[in-house]
């Protein structure tokens, strides 16, 4: 059998004109290949290596002898290293888009281009809520290199389940790798991965180290940023997730302009229309989503939306469930004007939500009061219950921390006046002086706290 295979291969190689050589069909027609597309795309995908200084307990201190007789440092510094991927979105400016979790804690960032050149990079801004970060490559090093090739953003909103896609990244740190697959699902949310979820699901192999890499279509356009995998056994099982390019592009623009994402509070909450609700409101099931809460004075209320309306569209997005609303909230920033379409008692209603400074969704505590410095605050539920302002993070050792505030605390009243959302807290603080009386809700109980203004 082995001799037959060798003879057959020899006959193919000796065929006139090499008609049966790999790379072409018998009639000379080239074999289908992604190579031409990838040759133009892969230079725009980079490898990212990070180094983080980590303080760890000195193991010698576990021995009482050393603790008693020697001046052993209580803590030691070590360097934690990790690898990921990134996408060049501006070749001239040297801007690279990647995941926040790849570079968020890094003290030093090194980017390796497809050519092998290594450059240091700095963070221009980061958005943990959608897991994106924007890096700037060292301009001095860029000046000595040929122009970088950037990937073109495609329109992820035009994707369909079944479309072919290609994932490019640096799995396991072994070097740039390409895998292919299809779009398995769109609009995946509720996975508990990020604050805002609107993922493209794909079966193109995505493994550790692929994070921040490119998901491209067959035209070589960037349609997603690879972010996460579903790995019950620790490896790829054909379920990977990517941030849609429509969201990634919007966030990247905000980070480039401002270094941060200044999201707005939509000021409303919705719920799906099940069969009974659809019948009660005389609409088709799944036609839209029922508005179940509207924050007084918020953008939705100012635009005329009311509880009981059937919200059909917000911006360019059809609204069918809460996940659709959160996906729109992820890319709604201060200064935006977003049209909506709704039904009220069976009649069409249209309007525009306009978002100003009063609609800020998140705010650094230091901008409000000295006693809140070190905390980051956010409206609790964008119109949902419970009301109030949640402390998303509190930096250990900060003024807010020393006063006893902790992440997860919810401010429910200020100087005896109920707090509905961040906008109300900002307004009340503008009238206050001296010390502030806060009522904090934590783990089912309320606490009173006095902090300096």
Question: Before 41, cis peptide (omega within 30)?
Answer: no
Among 357, 377, 349, 353, residue whose Cα is nearest residue 365: 377
Among 138, 100, 114, residue whose Cα is nearest residue 46: 114
3-class SS string, 406-451 = CCCCEEEEECCEECCCHHHHHHHHHHCCCEEEEEEEECCEEEEEEE
Question: Before 386, cis peptide (omega within 30)?
Answer: yes
Polymer length in residues for the chain: 453
Given the residues 82, 85, 156, 211, the one annotated as active site: 211
CB 344 within 8 A of CB 308: yes
With a CB cutoff of 8 Å and minimum separation 6, the contacts of 239 are: 184, 201, 203, 229, 230
Query: Where would I find the beta strands (DSSP E) of 273-368?
Result: 289-294, 310-314, 317-318, 337-344, 347-354, 362-364
- CA atoms of 327 and 323, how far apart (whole Å): 6
Q: What is the radius of gyration, based on Cα positions, of the chain? A: 27
- CA atoms of 128 and 104, how far apart (whole Å): 8
Given the residues 82, 101, 126, 156, the one annotated as active site: 101
> DSSP letter at 442?
E
Q: What are phi and psi of 260, to 5 degrees?
A: -155, 165
Q: How far is CA 328 from CA 69, 73, 175, 338, 447, in A?
A: 62, 51, 35, 10, 35
CB 85 within 8 A of CB 213: yes
Q: Is 398 an annotated catalytic residue? A: no
The stretches of 281-398 forming alpha helices (DSSP H) are: 299-303, 322-330
Cβ neighbours, 10 Å, residue 318: 15
CB 127 within 8 A of CB 251: yes
Through-space distance between the first and last CA atoms of the chain, rounded to whole angstroms = 88
Q: Is 101 an annotated catalytic residue? A: yes
Specify burial of residue 83 (Cβ count, 10 A radius: 0-12, 13-18, 19+): buried
Given the residues 131, 198, 309, 359, the one annotated as active site: 131
CB 242 within 8 A of CB 224: yes
Q: Is 258 an annotated catalytic residue? A: no
**Catalytic residue set:** 101, 131, 211
């Amino acid at each position: 059998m082995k001799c037959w295979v060798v003879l057959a291969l020899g006959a193919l190689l000796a065929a006139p004109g090499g008609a049966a050589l790999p790379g072409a069909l018998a009639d000379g027609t080239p074999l289908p290949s992604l190579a031409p597309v990838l040759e133009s795309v892969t230079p725009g995908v980079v490898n990212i290596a990070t180094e983080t200084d980590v303080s760890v307990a000195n193991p010698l201190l576990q021995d009482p002898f050393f603790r008693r007789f020697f001046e052993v440092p209580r803590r030691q510094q070590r360097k934690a290293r990790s690898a990921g991927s990134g996408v060049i979105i501006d070749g001239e400016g040297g801007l690279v888009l990647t995941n926040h979790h790849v570079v968020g804690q890094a003290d030093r960032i090194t980017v390796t281009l497809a050519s092998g050149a290594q450059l240091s990079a700095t963070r221009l801004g980061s958005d943990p809520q959608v897991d994106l970060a924007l890096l700037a490559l060292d301009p001095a090093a860029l000046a000595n290199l040929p122009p970088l090739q950037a990937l073109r953003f495609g329109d992820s909103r035009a994707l369909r389940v079944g479309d072919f896609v290609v994932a490019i990244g640096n799995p396991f740190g072994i070097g740039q790798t390409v895998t292919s697959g299809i779009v398995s699902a769109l609009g995946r949310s509720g996975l508990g991965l990020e604050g805002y979820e609107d993922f493209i699901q794909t079966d193109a192999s995505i493994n550790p180290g692929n994070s921040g890499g490119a998901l491209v279509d067959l035209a070589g356009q960037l349609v997603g940023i690879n972010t996460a995998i579903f790995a019950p056994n620790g490896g790829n099982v054909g379920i990977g997730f990517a941030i849609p390019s429509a969201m990634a592009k919007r966030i990247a623009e905000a980070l480039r302009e401002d270094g941060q994402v200044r999201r707005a509070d939509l000021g409303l909450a919705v719920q799906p229309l099940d069969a009974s609700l659809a019948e009660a409101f005389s609409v088709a099931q799944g036609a839209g989503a029922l508005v179940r809460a509207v924050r007084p004075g918020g953008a939705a209320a100012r635009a005329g939306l009311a509880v009981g309306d059937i919200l059909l569209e917000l911006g360019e997005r059809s609204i069918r469930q809460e996940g659709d609303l959160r996906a729109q909230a992820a890319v709604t920033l201060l200064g935006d004007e977003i049209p909506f379409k709704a039904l009220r008692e069976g009649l069409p209603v249209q309007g525009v939500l306009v978002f100003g400074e009063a609609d800020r969704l998140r705010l650094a505590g230091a901008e409000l009061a000295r006693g809140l410095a070190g905390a980051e605050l956010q409206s609790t539920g964008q119109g949902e219950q419970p009301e109030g302002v949640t402390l998303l993070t509190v930096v250990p050792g900060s003024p807010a921390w020393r006063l006893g505030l902790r992440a997860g605390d919810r401010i429910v009243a200020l100087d005896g006046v109920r707090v509905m959302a961040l906008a109300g807290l900002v307004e009340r603080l503008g009238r206050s002086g001296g010390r502030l009386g806060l009522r904090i809700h934590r783990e089912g109980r309320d606490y009173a706290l006095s902090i300096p203004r």
